[in-house]
Structure 1
Amino acid sequence: MPAARLGEAPGCGKCGAPLFDGRPLALDEAGFDAHVLRGELPVLVDFWAPWCGPCRAMAPQFEAAAAQLEPQLRLAKVDTQAQPGLGGRFGIRSIPTLVLFVGGRERARQAGAMGAADIVRWARQHLPQ
């Protein structure tokens, strides 16, 4: 979806479902490459694990941030326990860690749990103008 057409409430070409539903995408390696590295939109990725207490506490905050930031910014989650290759590939040393990708490249990184307002503020601060 070209960024210029995001205001048109884009839907799936096959089923018509909205492309943005205000919830983060769950990504595996193939989905990561398709959405983050080759996609046109900036993507904010939450690297997390199910056994991590701060990650679980931040999950609803990240979802609330998605509702405010999409469709200008896509939010996604990577379970580092299920996808250890992605955690290693991007040097994730602590979780939760947020990484903002723009044009398929890392633009900013923040470790530690954050509230929804802080996530939104941090993401907007690091997006290109």
Structure 2
Amino acid sequence: MTMSLHIVCPHCHATNRVPADRLEASPQCGACHQPLFAAQPAELTEHHFNRHITNNDIPVLIDFWAPWCGPCRMMAPAFSKAAAALEPHMRLVKVNTEEEQGLAARYNIRSIPTLVLFKGGREITRQAGAMGEHDLIRWAQAYSK
């Protein structure tokens, strides 16, 4: 019997059960029929944040950023490329700290960009400062095992 994983849809935020051996087969959401993995980071608000970090059976890597932040804008393309490389075994999301100040305060975000990796609903590690694509991928993979 194949193990199933819970995957939260980045579009409608419904939790889906996906057979582990079908993760790479471009699964679609049972509720909205959109792809569960789009090879790009999802944008999260406080309203759906907890659902994504607690209901996903795959690690969730969050980029806490702001539109006025130069290093954040510089890192954005690398984060997008990392999403394409790390999905479907990791969900990459972005949280705009200007719009989601409550989340930034709750997770004690003092500088941006800050990357925070969650697994099983718990923070595993964090890294402040911009990273290039390859360093970001290596860092995320090292801590998500």
Q: Partners of 1:15 and 1:90 in 2: how far apart?
A: 30
2:118 — aligned with what?
Answer: 101
Partner amino acid, structure 1, of 2:5: P
Counterpart pick for 2:35 among 18, 29, 33: 18
Post-superposition shift, 1:8?
3.0
| Count of matched residue pairs | 128
Post-superposition shift, 1:40?
1.6
Post-superposition shift, 1:10?
1.0
**What is the TM-score of this pair, normalised by structure 1?**
0.94
1:71 — aligned with what?
Answer: 88
Counterpart pick for 1:8 among 25, 28, 33: 25
1:24-63 alignment, distance < 5 Å: 24-63=41-80
Secondary structure, counterpart of 2:102 in structure 1: helix
> Which structure shows the bigger proportion of residues in helix conformation?
1
1:111 — aligned with what?
Answer: 128
**What is the TM-score of this pair, normalised by structure 2?**
0.84
> Which structure shows the bigger proportion of residues in strand conformation?
2
| Structure 1 residues not aligned, in runs of 5+ | none
For residues 36-74 of structure 1, the C-alpha deviation after alignment (integer angstroms, 9 at most, x for no partner) is: 123222100000000100001111110000000000000
Change (3 A) 1:14 1:38: closer
| Structure 2 residues not aligned, in runs of 5+ | 7-19
Q: Partners of 2:46 and 2:40 in 1: how far apart?
A: 19
Task: Quote the sequence identity (%).
Answer: 56
Any runs of at least 4 consecutive aligned residues in structure 1 with deviations exceeding 6 A, and if so which?
none
Partner amino acid, structure 2, of 1:7: E
